[in-house]
Amino acid sequence: MGHALPPQPLDVDRLIDDRRTRIIVCCGSGGVGKTTTAAALGLRAAERGRNVVVLTVDPARRLAQSMGLTSLDNTPRLVPGVGPPAADTGQHATWQDGTARAGSLHAMMLDMKRTFDEIVEAHADPDRAAQILANPFYQSLSSGFSGTQEYMAMEKLGQLRRADEWDLIVVDTPPSRSALDFLDAPQRLGRFLDGRLLRLLVAPAKFGGRAGLRMLNAGFGVVTGIVTKILGGQMLKDVQTFVSAMDTMFGGFRERAEYTYRLLRAPGTAFLVIAAPEPDALREASYFVERLAQEGMPLAGLILNRVHRSPAAGLSAARSLAAAEMLQAAGSSSRPAPGRAAEGRAGQQNGSHALAIAALRLHAERMQLTASERRLAEHFTAAHPLVPVAEIPAQPDDVHDLAGLRAIGTAFGGE
Amino acid sequence: MQATPGAGRIGHTGMTCYVHADSLHCVGTRDTDWEGVRLHVVTGKGGTGKTTVAGALALALASGGKRILLIEVEGRQGIAQLFDVPPLPYEERKVAVAPATDGRPGGDVFALVAEAESALLEYLEMFYNLRHAGTALTKLGVMDFATTIAPGLRDVLLTGKAAEAVRRKESGSPVYDAVVMDAPPTGRIGRFLNVASEVSGVARAGPIRGHADTVQKVIRSPETAVHFVTVLEEMPVQETLDGIAELRGLGGGGIQIGWIMVNMTRQLELPEDQLRAAADGSLDAGELSVGLKAAGLEDSQVLATYLVAELVEQARTDAGQQVQRRRLDDVRQPCYELPMITDGMDLGGLYRLAAALRAQGAA
């Protein structure tokens, strides 16, 4: 195997400066800094002149606070203190067509139950809506079913896109078992809601007579039997009431899921896969990259967060450790016999070397860490040589304010 | 051993004490000793090394001739990667041997990738002799519904599998001395373990409900403990605190909270005054430069400014970590520290972490 080629650099600024980019989806496994990345990206785009809304699913209060908001809810809120493009960044004050580059940033947090309730309210008359909202099966579906959060995130994305009030939507995907759930769960839930099972549970006899399903006839009695046995009769009653009340909406769930799925493949959508230089996160990133390619969804690139670097990369881990060991050995051999005066001097002597020893050991560890991160990144690039990569250095402090988010944004710009 | 010097158990009956860097924890245990724990549920925020710690714990528990089962429930094949073996099927397989130490014999770690669909089929077969209903169930969407959509059902099937392994016996004695579960992340752990109430949305009566109640009993017994893996950063610590509060708030017998496993710790070995100087950026590069020169390194002055920058950054990180450590102290749970493995996590690193856990009295 030859030496690994470096990946193409990912030009985040070019992506957000391109006004044809209307949706950016940030995906990746949990704990890689997805939400913070989405917020930093939104802020940078806003300060470069875009009208941005960030849709997050992460209830972390700290992030809301870092954007100057006490909390985030299901309605986009204007983030105060977002500046216009600074004159010294060399940015033009206007877009090419002459309009002013006056950006803004809104942020919101998905409330899946509220979003679901709103769909019901929009599609049913008040009486029927009230009936649905009070149904135990609906309540469980809208707040606890897995896939509901992903489905509603997609639904919200579709709503924001249709509202056309923002020219860039940055989406932070829900934390789920697998990053791929974001793509699969809405369709799975849509299939379930529109599918045979619910109808079967409601009216097995009628359903069993349908053409094309006769081959399964013999199994029907058994299946309804099992379902009733396993889940109990009360659930069936709730489902029946739910289905008859929702009748007008049936057939619509899968369609809605498919609408947003198509939106994700449309020009103007870009996916950013977020990862940290750790085996699990990069493995998930690989799955995602492969899946996006299969689905024909546009991948802009990989953002590799929390990358460690050293300003003294010329001093290798091995040499640094060897130097530390040498100092340590010299220190202990020159230690004089116990004695008050001598001890004071030895302490001084040892003290100065202690600093160098600690620094050299720390540097050796940093170099080892850098090397193992580099290996992981190279594995990814070897498998996906065409995926552009942006590396964001590890920040020593947690992000607490817009300045912190801005600092991450600066790293996107490769500065 | 990079673990905090002096860390470990200095306990006596009914009272267990742990010492670490800057605090003394004395935690009254319940009537049972930690020795009685047979189901170890390991949770943690994404990115904290939950799977790695679960693997290290399984290895640590296996030493001394024990038989341990490590269960993965999120279908990531993380265990196979960790132990460097081919992807695991829905079947218990031996993945590692714990080393013999201090005259104690080694032990065996088995692994299982628990999977909801197979568990459901197994369940149907066991109770209804209906294994062949699988195809019809899949066609009608029942399988999808039960294993991926319905709240709680999937979790009951997975926790049920772990509970079954804990209780399984062969000729009168347990097949496994303990079961370690690489559980879902902290944000979902409360719902995952609170199975009986989570399935009530879809099963208020019937055998699933009955099964859930049985599983619940195992999870809420003194035989089960939930361990939280964290790193000393604000968000993972917050999630740990929230997760502990959530489990404590579940009531009704309660779920036993085990250890906080502080992962990837690293401490600067510097005298107090120099640590402070590093943290406020007033470290003397000249003094460092003298040391570097003594070590025969060229360009010692330039190098010193670079290394000072690294020390300052690390000292700031350390200071932030101390703040997080104090927040963890407030919940008064025993803590274990796992050193940062800087040269890439592999089997060697895993054995080092297992040794660190043993040295601190986790096994």
What whole-number distance in Å separates Cα of residue A72 and Cα of residue A90?
A: 33
Consecutive H or E run containing A12: helix A12-17
DSSP state of B226: E
Residues of B within 8 A of A60 (CB-CB) are 235, 238
How many angstroms away from the CA of B243 is the closest CA of chain A? 14
Residues of B within 8 A of A113 (CB-CB) are none
Residues of A within 8 A of B114 (CB-CB) are none
How many angstroms away from the CA of B174 is the closest CA of chain A? 29
A300 and A336 co-located in one domain: no
How many angstroms away from the CA of B144 is the closest CA of chain A? 8
Under 8 Å between Cβ of A252 and A284? no
A269 and A323 co-located in one domain: no
Of A366, A215, A217, A180, whose CA–CA distance to A291 is shortest? A180
Q: pLDDT value at position A85?
A: 55
Q: Which tokens hold the place of A109?
A: 């947090």
What whole-number distance in Å separates Cα of residue B324 and Cα of residue B328?
A: 6
Q: Does A49 map to a domain?
A: yes
Are residues B235 and A60, on separate chains, in Cβ contact within 8 Å? yes
**CATH entry, B34-266+340-355, from 3.40.50.1220, 3.40.50.300, 3.40.50.970, 3.40.50.2000:** 3.40.50.300
Under 8 Å between Cβ of A156 and A115? yes
What's the ipTM? 0.81
Residue B58 confidence (pLDDT) above 60? yes
Name the residue facing B288 among A62, A233, A359 (closest C-beta).
A359
Q: Annotate A266-303 with b (16+ C-beta within 10 A) or e (fewer).
A: eebbbbbbbbbbbbbbbbbbbbbbebbeeeebbbbbbb
Percent of chain B with pLDDT over 70: 87
Are residues B342 and A355, on separate chains, in Cβ contact within 8 Å? no
A136 and A241 co-located in one domain: yes
Under 8 Å between Cβ of B308 and B285? yes
Residue B182 confidence (pLDDT) above 70? yes
- Work out the end-to-end distance of chain B between its first and last CA atoms, rounded to an integer number of angstroms: 16
How many angstroms away from the CA of B36 is the closest CA of chain A? 31
Instruction: Spell out the per-residue pLDDT of chain A, length 415, in tens.
Output: 445 678 899 999 999 999 999 999 999 888 898 999 999 999 999 999 999 999 998 777 777 888 888 888 899 999 998 876 554 455 666 777 777 777 999 999 999 999 999 988 888 889 989 989 998 888 888 887 878 888 899 899 999 999 999 999 999 988 766 667 788 888 888 888 877 777 776 664 444 444 434 444 545 566 666 666 666 667 777 887 888 777 666 567 778 888 888 888 889 999 999 999 988 899 889 989 999 999 889 999 999 999 999 999 999 999 999 999 999 988 776 544 444 444 344 444 444 588 999 999 999 999 999 999 999 999 999 999 999 999 999 887 778 889 999 999 988 876 5
Q: pLDDT value at position A228?
A: 67
Q: pLDDT value at position A185?
A: 84
Question: Going by C-beta distance under 8 Å and a sequence separation of 6 or more, which residues neighbour residue A106?
Answer: A52, A53, A54, A76, A77, A78, A79, A166
SS3 of chain B: helix, strand, coil, percent, to 5: 45, 20, 35
Q: Does A380 map to a domain?
A: no
Consecutive H or E run containing A37: helix A34-47
Q: B234 exposed, middle or buried (CB, 10 Å; 0-12, 13-18, 19+)?
A: middle
Q: Does A136 map to a domain?
A: yes
Residue B48 confidence (pLDDT) above 80? yes
A93 and A43 co-located in one domain: yes
A167 and A143 co-located in one domain: yes
A interface test, pick of B129, B138, B140 with most A CB neighbours within 10 Å? B140
Q: Does A364 map to a domain?
A: yes
Q: Out of B43-47, B107-111, B204-208, B346-350, which region has the weakest mean confidence (pLDDT)?
A: B204-208
A211 and A88 co-located in one domain: yes
Q: CA-nearest residue of chain B to A62?
A: B235
| Count of domains for chain A | 2
What distance lies between CA A399 and its chain's CA centroid?
A: 17
What whole-number distance in Å separates Cα of residue A290 and Cα of residue A88?
A: 40
Kindly report the average pLDDT of chain A as a whole number.
Answer: 82
Residue B22 confidence (pLDDT) above 50? no
What whole-number distance in Å separates Cα of residue B265 and Cα of residue B311?
A: 16
Contacts across the A-B interface (CB distance below 8 Å): 221
What whole-number distance in Å separates Cα of residue A249 and Cα of residue A125?
A: 12
CA–CA distances in Å: residue A58 to residues A33, A91, A116, A182, B230: 11, 32, 18, 14, 19
Range ranked top by mean pLDDT from A114-118, B146-150, B210-214, B317-321: A114-118
Q: Does A377 map to a domain?
A: no
Q: pLDDT value at position A399?
A: 84
DSSP state of B145: I
CATH of the domain at A213: 3.40.50.300
Q: pLDDT value at position A209?
A: 43
| Beta strands B107-113; B67-72: pairing state | parallel
Q: Does A378 map to a domain?
A: no
Over residues B86-98, mean pLDDT: 93
A221 and A248 co-located in one domain: yes
What whole-number distance in Å separates Cα of residue B198 and Cα of residue B195?
A: 5
Q: In whole angstroms, how large is the CA radius of gyration of chain A?
A: 28
Q: Which tokens hold the place of A110?
A: 């998905």
A137 and A200 co-located in one domain: yes
- CA angle, B351 as apex, B162 and B112 as ends, to 5°? 25
Are residues B141 and A60, on separate chains, in Cβ contact within 8 Å? no
Over residues B66-81, mean pLDDT: 91
Q: What is the domain range of residue A218? A: 12-308+394-412
Are residues A146 and B149, on separate chains, in Cβ contact within 8 Å? yes
- Work out the end-to-end distance of chain A between its first and last CA atoms, rounded to an integer number of angstroms: 33
Q: Does A387 map to a domain?
A: no
What distance lies between CA B261 and its chain's CA centroid?
A: 7
How many angstroms away from the CA of B8 is the closest CA of chain A? 25
Residue B99 confidence (pLDDT) above 50? yes
A180 and A296 co-located in one domain: yes
What whole-number distance in Å separates Cα of residue A271 and Cα of residue B65?
A: 50
Question: Going by C-beta distance under 8 Å and a sequence separation of 6 or more, which residues neighbour residue A315?
Answer: A363, A367, B297, B303
Are residues B234 and A398, on separate chains, in Cβ contact within 8 Å? yes
Q: Does A354 map to a domain?
A: yes
Are residues A216 and B139, on separate chains, in Cβ contact within 8 Å? yes
Q: pLDDT value at position A333?
A: 63
Kindly report the average pLDDT of chain B as a whole number.
Answer: 83
What whole-number distance in Å separates Cα of residue B178 and Cα of residue B29?
A: 19
Query: What is the dihedral sign for C-alpha A378, A379, A383, A389?
Result: negative
Residue B42 confidence (pLDDT) above 50? yes
Q: CA-nearest residue of chain A to B296?
A: A323
A173 and A213 co-located in one domain: yes
A109 and A161 co-located in one domain: yes
Residues of A within 8 A of B342 (CB-CB) are 365-366, 368-369, 372
Sheet holding B67-72, edge to edge: B93-98, B107-113, B67-72, B178-182, B39-44, B224-230, B257-265, B335-339
Q: Which tokens hold the place of A338?
A: 């116990």
Is residue A296 helix, strand or coil? coil
Is residue A195 helix, strand or coil? coil
A117 and A57 co-located in one domain: yes
pLDDT tier at B25 (50, 70, 90 boundaries)? very low
Q: Where are the domains of chain B?
A: 34-266+340-355
Query: What is the dihedral sign for C-alpha A161, A167, A173, A174?
Result: negative
Residues of A within 8 A of B303 (CB-CB) are 312, 315
Are residues A31 and B303, on separate chains, in Cβ contact within 8 Å? no
